[in-house]
Amino acid sequence: MLLAQLKPKVVRWCFIPGESSSVLWRRLRLDGAYLVGELIIVVSGVLLALAVDSWNDARLDRAEEALVLDRLAADLQLDTANYAFVQRGLEAKVGSLRQVRDVLVANMPLLDSTSFIAQVVRGANFGWNQPVALRATYDDLIGSGRLGLVRSVEVRDRLARYYALDTDIRNRILPRRTGYPALSYRLVPRREEFEPETDLSPENLRRIVAQIQSSDLEGEITAELNLARFIAERFRELDAAARELLAQVEDP
């Protein structure tokens, strides 16, 4: 555009008959100043447009970051609720296993066959079914390469360490699983996963108790108790890490 404007002016400068050199020079200075001013306006407009685009991109990134942090916070809140649920379940599991151990190992008298069978079943809980950390939001950020939306380097580092801890704990639990859950599953008919049938006849109750007493379940109780304590300790670690991370995600 500037060259198109300049060309007619140069032509006028060169082909105005009788015009003195001083007049030509004065006009050249005026037109040159005009062109410089126009150039400044054009460059300023371009820079302003780039600045507006950059500001708008930053605004959109911050809005998306807020949504990401909200999703991460929601995941962590559910995680801490799940960990509390696991802790309560593990306490009940340990209590059930101790009652079964008293009968099978310590040879304490069996007072209630229905209650004993229920404790056998509930002792299997959390032996193979621990809830995992909710990581869909984090995995989506990693997979899409958008983790950088989270500006805080410390938050990003804690996220990585939290989910790595979760994976490590799962890997450490797996080889410690015992034969207790599967064996109890074969011995006792279930109404639900961790509830036995409730309409068993006295004859069936006696038969099931006899099968339990003659099975290898006794040999699995100590290992299952140790597993329960191990899981409880590891989930306390996860809970503490989740709460620390949640505090930072909510106030990055």
The C-alpha angle with vertex 91 and arms to 189 and 74, in degrees rounded to 5, equals 100
56 domain-assigned: no
pLDDT in tens, 31-76: 556 666 666 776 666 665 565 555 555 565 588 889 999 999 999 9
Residue 244 pLDDT > 70:
yes
72 domain-assigned: yes
- Do 176 and 236 belong together in one domain? yes
- Do 19 and 114 belong together in one domain? no
Question: How far does Cα 44 stand from its chain's mean position?
Answer: 45
- Do 228 and 144 belong together in one domain? yes
Range 133-145 average pLDDT: 93
Range 245-252 average pLDDT: 89
pLDDT score, position 15: 46
Residue 146 pLDDT > 80:
yes
Query: What's the domain count of the chain?
Result: 2
* Full domain range(s) for residue 194: 65-250
- Do 122 and 12 belong together in one domain? no
Instruction: Please provide the average confidence, as pLDDT, over all residues in the chain.
Output: 84
- Do 194 and 105 belong together in one domain? yes
- Do 24 and 107 belong together in one domain? no
- Do 103 and 216 belong together in one domain? yes
18 domain-assigned: yes
- Do 145 and 173 belong together in one domain? yes
- Do 77 and 146 belong together in one domain? yes
d(CA 216, CA 183): 8
Counting every residue written for the chain, the total comes to 252
